[in-house]
Amino acid sequence: MLLYTFQSNVAAEMLKTKGILTGNWDFAPNGFWQFSYAWMCRQMEKRGINCGNTPPIWAFHSCKEWARPPCFLTARALLSDMELESGISTLVFDAPDDLVLLSSYRIWGRFWSELDAATGAIPKKPWGRMFNLKYFKEGDDLQACLPYLLLEWVKEVRPLVIPINKEDPFEVFVPGFDYNAFV
């Protein structure tokens, strides 16, 4: 399955050196980030995908239409100025289908917004729908979670270069940059 992930240049180099990249709880802020990542690990486990003791690697399968890669706008919405300044790479890779759990990014966003950040309490809703293709809407972004990423799956590593608006700290977009282009 062809996927795209945004990783720090440090993580991309670690993948190159070690041949494998796994998530790291040290990079997941406390509170709802860790609760939601742990919940996703449990969902993966229910479907026969074992994350071990690490959070999943997050990637994209489809953005706005089936199998369409993410664009710069997607990256800009996810990444902070600090992350961009530190250096980000887009990794394009082909992972085995049986290690990937696809889900609706739209429904995931609703789940995330309703999670109790203080306690990790999960709202009682049919969250399993986020994993069922029949509930996906046209134009949904499909995210992918997997337990690790192997170097042998990687087809391409591209530096992600997005301009940062230094003149107006309250405006993340830089006029004239094509945010709809594919990363």
Digit-coded pLDDT (tens) for 109-119: 888 777 776 67
pLDDT of residue 106: 87
Q: What are the beta bridge partners of residue 149?
A: 21
pLDDT of residue 27: 82
Q: In what order do the strands lie in the sheet with 101-104?
A: 101-104, 142-146, 57-62, 2-8, 88-94, 154-160
pLDDT of residue 118: 66
pLDDT of residue 22: 97
Mean pLDDT in each 10-residue stretch from start to end of the chain (183 residues)?
97 98 86 83 97 96 91 91 94 98 90 72 78 85 97 97 84 87 90
CB-based contact 109:177 (threshold 8 Å): no
The residues near 65 (Cβ < 8 Å, ≥ 6 apart) are 138, 139
Please give the structure tokens belonging to residue 77.
Answer: 């919405």
pLDDT of residue 117: 66
pLDDT of residue 120: 67
Report pLDDT digits (tens) over 117-136: 667 677 777 788 899 988 88
The residues near 179 (Cβ < 8 Å, ≥ 6 apart) are 71, 72, 73, 76, 173
Determine the number of helices (DSSP H) and then strands (DSSP E) in the chain: 5, 8
Whole-angstrom distance, CA of residue 33 vs CA of residue 1: 26
